[in-house]
Amino acid sequence: MRLRCAVLDDFQGVALESADWSAVEGQVEVVALREHLDGEDALAAALADCDIVVTLRERVPFPGSLIARLPRLKLLIASGMRNSVIDYAAAEAHGVTVCGTASSSTPPVELTWALLLGLARGIVQESDALRGDGPWQSTVGADLHGRRLGLLGLGKIGSRVAQVGLAFGMRVGAWSQNLTRERAEEVGVEAAGSKEELLAGADFVSVHLALGDRTRGLVGAAELALMKPTAYLVNTSRAAIIDQDALLAALREGRIAGAGVDVFDAEPLPAGHPMRTAPRLLATPHLGYVSRANYATYYGQAVENIQAYLAGSPVRRLPVPEDTCR
């Protein structure tokens, strides 16, 4: 009898064609689920007969209470080598092996610039007007050359965003709790003296921090009030780093020029959510990691993980030390 594997959140219906699953088909039946399963009861019911689950990023939490309700589960594979919504102690206690995959930083860097450029040049508004027989030129674009880009975080993704900003001729500064002047100089950017200094001086602010106790709610109403009314804010990291109510208020009241957001407090974003209709907002449905190359890596390595587990030698096990997955 073959094992059963469920691939979660295959929204585009491409999981089974993004990798060669034939390597395990003799031992594993793979089923891709295109609809998001919302809530523990729905997950427990849908995955009750699954021995293996493949989940995307941190969209679906696997707390101990859910793991306890999945008695057949033996292998849980998450894309990426960092996942904060899996209860690893519970997994170990129930005999569940947890593995990850590689994940490229290139797609989120590229999406960050897609959002920033889209905001700066009013791309969506102008395109909609043109296609709808609306006005010919209704916006005046914001320049990048010579303007200041402020980065909250200068890690693997932030530093690559910085390089693009420099190529555009922008003045780039960065800040995080751990950022040193030496690190900033390595990247060729200026280290801001404080978070407040960075926000107040930037024409564009982009967030590239991991979510944790120190970064949750890092940008709230007081921080948004420091930004110029002509400034733009981009977040392709984690929604909870920015106070969502404060951001909505700033957008509605026109206290910042606009925001580009790829991450939300609830995903998929429910119908009728305020973020769906907020003014001055360019929003995408968490596309930061979504690219053909990344999917080929995620699902290709998921197949490898299954093969290794079946051979009795699991690979890419989670959790791993923080400094090895940055």
Tell me the CA end-to-end span of the chain in Å, nearest whole number.
39
Q: Choose, from 29, 126, 197, 267, the residue flagged as catalytic.
A: 267
Which strand (E) or helix (H) includes residue 112? helix 106-120
Q: Which of 2, 199, 8, 200 is nearest to 86 (CA)?
A: 8
Contact 60, 37 (CB under 8 A): yes
**Number of Cβ within a 10 Å radius of residue 184:** 22
Q: Choose, from 147, 160, 208, 238, the residue flagged as catalytic.
A: 238
Contact 202, 149 (CB under 8 A): yes
Contact 142, 121 (CB under 8 A): yes
Burial of 229 by CB count in 10 Å (0-12 exposed, 13-18 middle, 19+ buried)? Answer: exposed
Please give the Cα distance from 179 to 157 (Å, whole number). 14
Three-state DSSP at 226 gives helix
Catalytic annotation on 145? no
Catalytic annotation on 267? yes
Q: Choose, from 148, 160, 208, 286, the residue flagged as catalytic.
A: 286
Catalytic annotation on 17? no
Residues 6+ apart with CB under 8 A from 188: 162, 163, 166, 172
Q: Which of 78, 68, 73 is nearest to 9 (CA)?
A: 78
Burial of 164 by CB count in 10 Å (0-12 exposed, 13-18 middle, 19+ buried)? Answer: middle
**Which positions are catalytic?**
238, 267, 286
